[in-house]
Amino acid sequence: MAKQMEFWFEFASTYSYLSIMRLGDLARDRGVAVTWRPFLLGPIFADQGWSTSPFNLYPAKGDYMWRDLERRAARFGIPFRRWVPDHEVPFPQNGLKAARLALIGLDAGWGQSFCQSVYQAQFAKGADIADLDLLGRLAEQAGAPADAPALANAEANKLRLKANVEEARAKGLFGAPSFVVGDELFWGDDRLEDALDWAVG
């Protein structure tokens, strides 16, 4: 039986950045096929009564998260720019448009490169990933055709993203990154290797 894993990620998710930059090599080394599943955390957080990221709701947790990201990014050699409260781009960012484009790209073969470049723009350069011009450039650089933004904004694709959110709910996801192997759920970048090892069996 093929070794399979689902990778659920949200573009606003800080720890998803670390996972998305590490996943390819780790999965390839273990022979695990990974299905990338973009979704939105906003509706998931709303189910828990949260109006924003828990890292905003609980300042001590937020301060810890940013320092932890700095440490882990340095450990893995991943460029990282810390977000600060007076930054011109709010946290968490709005990943809706990026997620819609990612769905198109993941179907067409340029999606993984696009996803990585969006995360790098956000967490290594401090860019606004809700900027359509930026997303268009990143998609083009990843190999997207000229009509990709229009396809991403089509009603059928919007419904696909909503369906991903509903599937995430059904699977019991409550945060990102999440890794699903069969009926097993692993949450957090620090569980990436555990999830891959479980997929190997």
Please write the tens of the pLDDT for every residue from 120-141.
999 999 899 999 999 999 999 9
What confidence category does residue 57 fall into, taking pLDDT thresholds of 50, 70 and 90?
confident
What is the pLDDT, as a whole number, of residue 182? 95
What confidence category does residue 9 fall into, taking pLDDT thresholds of 50, 70 and 90?
very high
Tokens of 115: 């996803």
Number of H helices, E strands in the chain: 10, 4
What is the pLDDT, as a whole number, of residue 174? 94
In the numeric block, the tokens 């650089």 are attached to 141
Tokens of 123: 């967490």
What is the pLDDT, as a whole number, of residue 49? 84
**Could you give the percent of the chain with pLDDT greater than 70?**
97
Q: Which residues contact 66 (CB under 8 A, 6 or more apart)?
A: 14, 82, 83
Cis peptide, bond prior to residue 92, ω within 30 of zero: yes
pLDDT at 89 over 70: yes
Structurally, how many domains does the chain consist of? 1
**Mean pLDDT taken over the chain:** 93
What is the pLDDT, as a whole number, of residue 108? 97
CATH, residue 25: 3.40.30.10
Least confident of 85-99, 109-123, 158-172: 85-99
The range of the structural domain enclosing residue 157 comes to 4-200
Verdict on whether the full-model pTM lies above 0.85: yes
Least confident of 40-49, 76-85, 112-121, 143-152: 76-85
192 burial (CB, 10 Å; 0-12 / 13-18 / 19+) is: buried
76 closest CA partner among 127, 5, 26: 26
Mean pLDDT calculated for residue range 68-91? 85
pLDDT at 119 over 60: yes
Contact 61, 54 (CB under 8 A): yes
How many residues belong to the chain?
201
